[in-house]
Structure 1
Amino acid sequence: MVRLFVVLWLSSLAMVSAQFGENQLALGKQIPVGDLGAEQYAAISKLRRLSVEFVELFPNITAGDLTGDLSRAGLLSAQECQLDIALLTKDLASFKKWALKMVDSWGFLPAGMLVGNFWDLGNFDECVGIEHAVSLSHRVQGKYCFAKVQLASVVLKTGVCFPASCSASHMDTVLRSLFQNLLDAEISQDVEIVSEATCQTAEKKPYDGITIFTIVLLSVLGALVAASSVYDYFFHQDDKSLNAVVKAFSARANSRALFRLVEPKSNPNVIDCLHGIRCMSFIWVVFAHDYMVFASSPNTNMLDALSWIKSFFSQFVIHGIFAVDTFFFLSGMLLVVIALRTMERTKGKLNIPMMYLQRYVRLTPLVAFAILLYLKILPLLGDGPLFGQISFDSYASCEANWLWTLLYVQNYATRDMCLSHSWYLAVDMQLFIFAPFLLIALFRWGKKAAASIFILMLLLASCLFSMMVIKNMSMNGSEEGRAKLYYTPNVRASPYLVGILFGYFLHLTRGKKFNLNPITVLLGWLVALALIFTCLIAVYRASDISIVEEALFVSLTRIAWPLGLCWVVFACMNGYGYLADSFLSSPLWQPMSRLSYAAYIFHMFIESLNSGITRTSTYFSDYQVMLRFWADLGFTMILSYLMHILVEAPFANLVTIMMSPKNPKSASDETLQTKSAPTEEAIEPPSEAPASPPLTERKENQR
């Protein structure tokens, strides 16, 4: 049972376990201490520093030692590396500082292996900072890499430092011989000890064309925002007479709209509590993602985390996956509430191509900039032994698959998604493609169409249950199976359809006053809370679970969770929310809610950066994760604000201007005003992400 829901936590929330490497906890596997073996542990515990062992075992290293290839080509390929290591050995004997640094920067074999410490990072900066001038044309630079050796089910990792002239394959060959000699055990040739992907030097690659383009584009946007803001502030005090294009780029105008607080209940068409629900869900996503980062980090007490998984508190982290369902629910509900109101004014007419176009141009600019920033700017912002390794995405994934992300088909087109948390946007976009036909059915056939949608929801839930049981498809199974259970619209439709049905109910009852007696209100809250907490703790302490039980849990909770939220929203709208309404409808949530799309897109940017610059092993505890969480959330909101005024708000305003050619100024004003109207903002935030999920989701504004 523990294994299953660790995978539900990691695999279903963000689908990144395959990218987390050999970290056993992140894969949801327990690591019995006995697997290491008493004899192996005794042999390891007697070892000195690997650097000392290396120097003593290879006092006169040869090219054959480095390559295992005695052919002329093989010997020539390692000649430079051989000469540099020979120089290292010579200068060590005379205690040259550069040589001592190269040896000193190596990691130890990890101390505390019996409590789950399987990493020793060594000293990254000491290694890459080495630059020894041998002659005018020859310099020896440090190259930092991870060396890993698998013993039983445990993978030990330690930092090593070699001359930069040595390739990863050279290091792999010589370290393989070293480990086999020290441990008196054969190490399979199929197991890679050193990978070039883990190696780094101080040398930085020159900016390529796309990097320069990204920097220039951001500079141009920054200049436009700065110029528009200065003009707005100093030369145009009258906001109404300001040119629409200038206003679109003005940080002053966009910030005024962003931070404008609207008093709750001041507009009957506004559902105030959605701000709080959206923000709390996003915070849940970031918090859960930080636990995922810690699960893949070099913790000194990894095995202690197994007891954490069994704790009651862990259920609220592991089930951050329900933030996904929250955002799908909000997406469906807001779509119906807004669209049906518009269809009433147009007598049922719905411009479907324009709906698709508006949604695409609202969502895509920020996603496109996120791809550029992640691919070309993030690598420039930091370095470290783990930089680019403890992450939800790899740079190679974005280089190869960025187009699928911009087309919102990445959940089908590839397993290596660029911006892995953007799967939510893809699924939501795919659900949105079918939504207009449901809207037309609701408008024309009313309750009969609603009944059909309800039946469709039950059929999709039944199909999910049947697929899991018949194909024995578990969240604890293969990566392909988990993808089909997490990334596809057919298995994600239930909360979306619940949102559509609830939105239709709100449409039918708008303006109606509900006078409920206290018993009915109490029962409503009891049922809603029972649904919500059952989803969270139904599998707590379960020692094992069959595929039928898992299928029931997965299929039913995707209906139960949004049903519980239906009552929360209904109660808050009709004066029965009490403390919940006061909290969720607080105006203080409004700015964060308006930033939630940008924050969803960029929160993993911050988490990848902060985890990648780690220099030493970490200690896993709830308090340590909380410290990281507040830092990540704070910097995420700062970055999302910058991206909002640079990209999101200007592009959204320009789109509105272009689509309202008859009166661009008023159209721009309306856009800025509706940013403060929660009901007029169909914001589908992260879900799993914020999505994702925890976490990993959210989407953008559909006005």
Structure 2
Amino acid sequence: MKKLTFIIVNLIISQCYALIYELNGSDYSRMPAVFHFDDYDHCLTNPDGLYCTVDINVVSDTPSELYSLMQNYSEYNNKHFNHTFLRHGVCVTRSCKRFLQNTTKPITYSNTDTENAELKLVIEECLNDSLWNNYELKCRVTAPLYCNEREERQKDSGDLAVGVFLLVLLTLNVIGSLYDAIFVRGQNKPGSGNGVLLCFSVPHNFSRLMRPYADLGPREQRLKVFHGLRAMTTLGVIHCHSLLPFAIAPENVLFVENLYNNMANYIFLNGTIVVQTFFIMSGCLLSYKLEMLAEKREIKWTLLPKILIITWAKLTPSYMVVLATSATWLRYTSSGPFWKLVVLREVEDCRADGWSHVLYINNYLDPTQCLPQAWYLAANMQLYILGYCTFVIIKSPKYRKVALTILFIIGVVTPMAHTYFQNLEAVVMMTPEAVRSFLNNPTFHHVYKRGHTNIANFVLGIALGFLIYRLQKNEVNIQKYKKYRHLFLLTVPAILGTIIVGSVFYIDGIYTSVYTKAIYSGLIKPIYGVILAILVIGCVFEIENVYRPILEWDGWKLPAKLSYCAFLLHVAFIRIATGSLRTLMPFTYLLVAETTIAFIVLSYLAAIPFWLLVDAPLTELLQKILTGKLCQTETKVIPENDLTLKNNVKVFNSEEGNASV
């Protein structure tokens, strides 16, 4: 009886809101294709060939049963594409040849929308003719147009400047490597030599990359669980971003929409919460390393500027190289029907908004496609500053607890406030339409990527670091809690549960109030953080022996050390591959797996030379400049950066300035 009542209520709601949850195959096939692309290469074999990727709003001047069907089906946007909003690739010089002949002057493409008005009208007339003949519908082409012509891309002063810098950097690596091989290693004088040249020595940096962590103390050794967490989380991030080619232009739209009917897929659809792992590790390592430093020296407020500058310097050099390359040479790497939409938009945005990345405030700049994955770096830097200030300025452990409690409450309340007052979604909804135009997602902008909305788990991480340090220092006998080891086994299922529970917001016919969304958005992150913190404690103190061997596997050390470089590079590879597509992507589980593995392998393989030639030498050189060690001849290695994506469980001393994991 209850089931029957639920079905009746659903039918009533569907009629009231004119929603269509499902269509049979015959009705679905009546609708125009959401994505369609003419042959790109064939189009441009003509020297005068013009190919345009356009967004189309389908309209109807007269009552249309098909148009109403499309509207009602698209209205349920939790699982459906907007079938009244199409993306087509049109070979204008072939498909619209008849309409081009009706113009009074030759039509060319310009980078200015106002100058493309006549071209837009031609494409609109062409598509209207096709839509009317096949569906008795019309359309309006929306700006901007993304057209590809056979034209030489002119290099400018910015391109040349970045090219010269990269060439100088490569030359320095060659000189430094030869100097190391001939005058240091060749004469068997390890630990000596010119410090500047050795920064750019590939053998020297390779030894740093492969160096084991045998010099760590027993307490720091127990934090090696973070190697596995860091590497696995980075792999998850690359996997999610690898879906861009399938999201921007899938061939089998119905298959994509049906993915939302399989509960197992919500592990990936709601998997964005796993990024909170980085914030928890960052907060934990910050408090832990500062407590270790406090054993050796008094931490005064005068140390704060030095810590902040060195923290900025350790993260920035390789980040800025990727930023500069994305703003210049990235646009010359390939071409395709999606090239201007996917790649050139990032180039333009990086030229306009690159300054915000230098200051680490890019996560408050909306919307921009310049290195969108770098929102995390900005948010984490902001939280690092907050954490440093809290630790250094507030000396009393009692007042620190009060301050952290207040910050935690702020971290819980702010996502609630944004969700309630701005009427946002409870989670970043990975709906088909939201994924197609992801950077226009208000929940992503106002809740997901801001620094102040991620405070809760960073503070939880700080508390976790304090707890681990105190338990280790006081030599508390944790083994007595081994009788609860079976409870620790529940942590991974519980983490999966926090991901799966978000699927409730996708269920057909269920309406969630803004109050429910606000409460969920404020609590889900700290709940995930608490569960992960319990897992970390179980691993650090060897309470459980199921997840710990996996996370502490030595094989994670090298991927963890390269994670920062892979994180910076992987989106560029994905953009190039997506922009180079010549046709639509068939969405199949096998092809998704192959694509994901390919991007992961490519990102980590590219991360090795990037680390050796760019990240390691520039970071070490800048650290030596800031710490006044530029003129030293010894080759003592300065520890790696923290910020979670850069590695080595290493505690800084008074001379080295900052620790890192």
- Asked if 1:339 is matched to 2:287, the reply is no
Q: How does 1:552-631 map to 2 (within 5 A)?
A: 552-631=519-598
Going from structure 1 to structure 2, the CA distance change for 1:257 and 1:236 (only over 3 Å counts) comes to same
For 1:5, the equivalent position in structure 2 comes to none
Structure 1 residue 441, shift from structure 2 partner? 5.8
Q: How does 1:171-320 map to 2 (within 5 A)?
A: 171-182=119-130, 183=132, 187=138, 191-192=140-141, 195-196=144-145, 198-237=146-185, 238-262=189-213, 267-270=218-221, 271-296=223-248, 298-320=249-271
For 1:355, the equivalent position in structure 2 comes to 307
Runs of 5+ unmatched residues, structure 2: 1-18, 59-66, 68-83, 95-105, 110-115, 435-439, 653-657
- Asked if 1:440 is matched to 2:386, the reply is no
Matched letter for residue 548 of structure 1: Y
Structure 1 residue 243, shift from structure 2 partner? 2.4
Matched letter for residue 554 of structure 1: S
The 3-state SS of whatever aligns with 2:51 is strand
Structure 1 residue 494, shift from structure 2 partner? 0.5
Q: How does 1:420-435 map to 2 (within 5 A)?
A: 420-435=372-387
Matched letter for residue 525 of structure 1: L
Q: Work out the CA distance in 2 between the residues paired with 1:370 and 1:493.
A: 27
TM-score (norm 2): 0.78
Q: Name the stretch that deviates more: 144-153 or 344-353.
A: 144-153
Q: Name the stretch that deviates more: 555-564 or 156-165.
A: 156-165
Structure 1 residue 277, shift from structure 2 partner? 0.2
Going from structure 1 to structure 2, the CA distance change for 1:414 and 1:248 (only over 3 Å counts) comes to same
**One of 53, 57, 60 as aligned partner of 1:150:** 57
Structure 1 residue 379, shift from structure 2 partner? 1.2
Going from structure 1 to structure 2, the CA distance change for 1:457 and 1:434 (only over 3 Å counts) comes to same
Q: Is the 8 A contact 2:539 2:548 kept in 1?
A: yes
Matched letter for residue 300 of structure 1: E
Q: Is the 8 A contact 2:231 2:560 kept in 1?
A: yes
Q: How does 1:11-410 map to 2 (within 5 A)?
A: 117-131=33-47, 141-151=48-58, 152=67, 153-162=84-93, 166-167=108-109, 168-182=116-130, 183=132, 187=138, 191-192=140-141, 195-196=144-145, 198-237=146-185, 238-262=189-213, 267-270=218-221, 271-296=223-248, 298-350=249-301, 351-390=303-342, 394-410=346-362
Going from structure 1 to structure 2, the CA distance change for 1:117 and 1:624 (only over 3 Å counts) comes to farther
Q: Work out the CA distance in 1 between the residues paired with 2:191 and 2:535.
A: 39
Going from structure 1 to structure 2, the CA distance change for 1:32 and 1:194 (only over 3 Å counts) comes to farther
For 2:499, the equivalent position in structure 1 comes to 536
For residues 563-613 of structure 1, give each alpha carbon's deviation from its aligned partner in whole angstroms, at most 9, with x where no partner exists. Answer: 112122222222224132221112221121111111111111111011111
For residues 237-268 of structure 1, give each alpha carbon's deviation from its aligned partner in whole angstroms, at most 9, with x where no partner exists. Answer: 13312322122111111112112344699743
Matched letter for residue 425 of structure 2: S
For 2:456, the equivalent position in structure 1 comes to 494
The 3-state SS of whatever aligns with 2:424 is coil
Q: Work out the CA distance in 1 between the residues paired with 2:85 and 2:383.
A: 43
Q: Is the 8 A contact 1:301 1:619 kept in 2?
A: yes
Q: Work out the CA distance in 2 between the residues paired with 1:480 and 1:609.
A: 26
The 3-state SS of whatever aligns with 1:415 is coil
For residues 4-48 of structure 1, give each alpha carbon's deviation from its aligned partner in whole angstroms, at most 9, with x where no partner exists. Answer: xxxxxxxxxxxxxxxxxxxxxxxxxx997879997xx9xxxxxxx
Structure 1 residue 236, shift from structure 2 partner? 2.2
The 3-state SS of whatever aligns with 2:90 is strand
Q: How does 1:474-553 map to 2 (within 5 A)?
A: 474=425, 479-480=441-442, 482-511=444-473, 512=475, 513-526=477-490, 528-529=491-492, 531-540=494-503, 542-543=507-508, 544=510, 545-553=512-520
Q: Work out the CA distance in 2 between the residues paired with 1:571 and 1:320.
A: 23
For residues 55-89 of structure 1, give each alpha carbon's deviation from its aligned partner in whole angstroms, at most 9, with x where no partner exists. Answer: xxxxxxxxxxxxxxxxxxxxxxxxxxxxxxxxxxx
The 3-state SS of whatever aligns with 1:200 is strand
Structure 1 residue 412, shift from structure 2 partner? 2.4
The 3-state SS of whatever aligns with 1:146 is strand
Structure 1 residue 235, shift from structure 2 partner? 3.5
For 2:70, the equivalent position in structure 1 comes to none
TM-score (norm 1): 0.74
Q: Is the 8 A contact 2:336 2:581 kept in 1?
A: yes
Going from structure 1 to structure 2, the CA distance change for 1:505 and 1:447 (only over 3 Å counts) comes to farther
Going from structure 1 to structure 2, the CA distance change for 1:456 and 1:120 (only over 3 Å counts) comes to closer
Q: Is the 8 A contact 1:598 1:644 kept in 2?
A: yes
Q: Work out the CA distance in 2 between the residues paired with 1:286 and 1:551.
A: 29
Q: Is the 8 A contact 2:283 2:459 kept in 1?
A: yes
Going from structure 1 to structure 2, the CA distance change for 1:192 and 1:681 (only over 3 Å counts) comes to farther
Q: Work out the CA distance in 2 between the residues paired with 1:654 and 1:400.
A: 28
Identity %: 19
RMSD: 3.2
Runs of 5+ unmatched residues, structure 1: 1-29, 42-111, 132-140, 683-699
For 2:12, the equivalent position in structure 1 comes to none
Q: Work out the CA distance in 2 between the residues paired with 1:419 and 1:441.
A: 34
Q: Is the 8 A contact 2:331 2:343 kept in 1?
A: no
Q: Is the 8 A contact 1:340 1:507 kept in 2?
A: yes
Q: Work out the CA distance in 2 between the residues paired with 1:636 and 1:274.
A: 20
For residues 483-502 of structure 1, give each alpha carbon's deviation from its aligned partner in whole angstroms, at most 9, with x where no partner exists. Answer: 22122222110110000111
Q: Work out the CA distance in 2 between the residues paired with 1:274 and 1:681.
A: 15
For 2:7, the equivalent position in structure 1 comes to none
- Asked if 1:654 is matched to 2:570, the reply is no
Q: Work out the CA distance in 1 between the residues paired with 2:274 and 2:305.
A: 30
